[in-house]
Amino acid sequence: MASPQLNSLWIKMSTNQLMRKTSFLICVLFMLWYITSFFYYEQEKLSMAKNEGNINVIPPPVLSSNTTITTNNPLEVLNINYCGQPTCKFLFVYMFGEQETKANLHFRSFSQLAEKLNRVMILTNVGSSKIDICNKLPFDFYYNTNLLQKEFPNVTYKSEDDFIFWLKERDQIKKIMNKGDEVIPPLSVLHSNLRRYDITSNAVYRDVKPITSLNSCLSKFEPSMNLTDSSNSRVRYTIMDITKDDLRTEKSRDRFSKLLIDVLTIDEEILLVNSYVLDPLFPVIMPPLPYNDYILNEAQKIKDKLSSSYIGIHWRLEQSRAELLPECAQGLIETLNQVMKEKGIKNIYLATDYPLLSSHSQSDTFGDITNYHHDAMRMLNETFKINTWVSLEGLEQLRKDGKYDAEFLGAGIQGILDKLVCINSNYFISGPVGCSRILSTFTKAIAEERRNRIEKKDHSLLNIIDRWRIFNTSV
């Protein structure tokens, strides 16, 4: 008969073996469940991409055949498959605070930051000429993510849907593991406002009290990321006030970017940023985000319809002097007559914030449309055949789909198309002071790209940018 000590030892050994087998079984079951759910998620996303048409999806990183997962921790397994490392760290800039042309610039800066911080960057949704979480269209709707990845080969990008998938999978793992001895802590989040704040003389980074009026669109990530529930998410709040001198020159940006990297090198899993900065954050300014192929194809179709020879006009009426607009229109007419005669160009393409599809302007910040505006456009149309993205049936397939109606009623994807068509124009002109908004990032982006092409010996472009003159009634 075995002694009590031997019986106790045997029971202890059996219990340990059972626990090891149970743990192993749980891990195996988790892996089967994870692979299955992951497979169905990818299939569903691929199906959605096909239905959207022309959407490039960046898949999660796939482990190479040489990669071996040595951990039995299901959360680490999830992170390794999703982020390529046992702990996922994200940079999620959920608001860029500017329309597309500037948001394009800012996204590049934050991609540089993601690379420096070794964080996965979330591809924030787009729509209405913006990049922010309140929009419903995927990042791919505007941009070519394959080319973006080539611009930033060391950055892993994930869509908002991918991020939600990770949050939900993490929740499932928590439910499984929290029944045992190991408890997964709440999400660790740093929420930071980066803003241009010219009152201070130097950049200031500081902790602040919890923000009670968070952007309501963040609720789309609940309950998995609930910033007001301490049992779900552990949140720290900071603000960085940035002065214009911090970002004015290449040297100052170099100094500032080192400070930015230093203060944001943190342990939190999620770096959540609300950004409103007006300039690049790093000394090196990366090329513009590449647009999706279907938008480029639409621009080419318009160029072909214009017989590949046309004058591009950008007339942003916002901030013009309404009573001056008839003289502005007459000055534009005279300039067009002169250019068409000297350069032998017969076609005209107009990019404008004047209403084209409805009574509302094509800009969210331009609402006071008067009879002066209508008269100016009437003068132009009565003198020339004026082509626009509407008259030339640009983006026609998207316009036929009712789910994109909101995108075309204000600033939206048509602004990108206008930009590309003006870049491709043989001759490009824009409005003078009093007739249009002069400090337009949109116009500046067109001119910069045209300058680059001319420097590369693109002989189809006859100028970078000219501004027409206001008609002088005293002559």
Would you state the structure tokens that stand for residue 13, as one six-digit string? 């050994």
pLDDT value at position 60?
44
194, two tokens: 């980066």
Predicted pLDDT of residue 111: 98
With beta carbons less than 8 A apart as the criterion, state whether 450 and 423 touch. Answer: yes
| Cβ-based neighbours of 402, under 8 Å, separated by 6 or more | none
The amino acid sitting at 67 is T
pLDDT tens sequence across 38-83: 444 444 444 444 444 443 434 444 443 344 567 788 899 999 999 9
Class of domain 87-276: alpha beta
Cα–Cα distances in Å, from 245 out to 102, 248, 261, 271, 293? 18, 5, 18, 25, 37
Q: Is the pLDDT of residue 475 over 50?
A: no
* pLDDT tops 90 at residue 385: yes
Tell me how far apart the alpha carbons of residues 184 and 129 are, in angstroms, rounded to a whole number.
39
Cα–Cα distance between 101 and 185 in angstroms, integer? 40
pLDDT tier for residue 298 given thresholds of 50, 70 and 90? very high
CA distance 208 to 453: 47
pLDDT of residue 440: 86
- Is the predicted pLDDT of residue 423 greater than 60, yes or no? yes
Lowest model confidence (mean pLDDT) among 39-53, 249-263, 423-437: 39-53
Asked whether the predicted pLDDT for residue 181 surpasses 60, the reply is yes
Angstrom distance (rounded) from CA 393 to CA 414? 11
Question: Please, which residues have CB within 8 angstroms of residue 61's CB and are 6 or more apart in sequence?
Answer: 81, 82, 83, 84, 156
Question: What is the C-alpha separation between 54 and 36, in angstroms, rounded?
Answer: 27
pLDDT at residue number 130: 95
Range 351-355, long-range pairs (CB < 8 A, 24+ positions)? 351/312, 351/313, 351/314, 351/315, 351/388, 351/389, 351/418, 351/419, 351/421, 351/422, 352/313, 352/314, 352/315, 352/316, 352/317, 352/388, 353/316, 353/317, 353/318, 353/411, 354/315, 354/317
3-state DSSP call for residue 50?
Answer: helix
The mean pLDDT of 400-413, rounded to a whole number, is 90
The full set of domain ranges for the chain reads: 87-276, 293-467
Q: For the chain, what is the mean pLDDT?
A: 86
Q: What's the confidence (pLDDT) of residue 16?
A: 54
Q: What percent of the chain has pLDDT over 90?
A: 70
Compare 11 and 278 and report the one with higher pLDDT. 278
Chain centroid to CA 120: 15
Could you say which architecture CATH assigns to the domain 293-467?
3-Layer(aba) Sandwich (3.40)
Say how far apart CA 213 and CA 111 lie, in whole Å. Answer: 27
Q: Is the pLDDT of residue 142 over 90?
A: yes
Query: What b/e string do you get for 16-36 counting C-beta neighbours within 10 Å, with b at 16 or more?
Result: eeeeeeeeeebeeebeeebee
Q: Where are the alpha helices (DSSP H) in 178-249?
A: none
Does the pLDDT value for residue 197 go beyond 50?
yes
Residues 6+ apart with CB under 8 A from 414: 362, 389, 394, 395, 408
pLDDT reported for residue 168: 95
Provide, rounded to the nearest whole percent, the portion of the chain with pLDDT above 70: 83
Compute the distance between CA of residue 271 and CA of residue 190 in angstroms, rounded to an integer. Answer: 5
pLDDT of residue 51: 46
Which of 130-139, 167-176, 405-414 tops mean pLDDT?
A: 130-139
Location of structure tokens 């005669």: 341
- Measured distance CA(130)–CA(411) in Å, rounded: 9
pLDDT of residue 31: 52
Partners of residue 233 on adjacent β-strands: 187
Q: By the 8 A CB rule, do 432 and 468 touch?
A: yes
Of the candidates 214, 211, 204, the residue with the CA atom closest to the CA atom of residue 263: 204
Instruction: Give the count of beta carbons closer than 10 Å to the beta carbon of residue 46.
Output: 13
Same fold for the domain at 87-276 and the one at 293-467? yes
How far apart CA 397 and CA 205 sit, in angstroms, is 47
Q: Look at 124 and 307; give whichever has higher pLDDT.
A: 124
Q: What is the pLDDT of residues 336-371, one digit of tens each?
A: 999 999 999 999 999 999 988 876 766 766 768 899
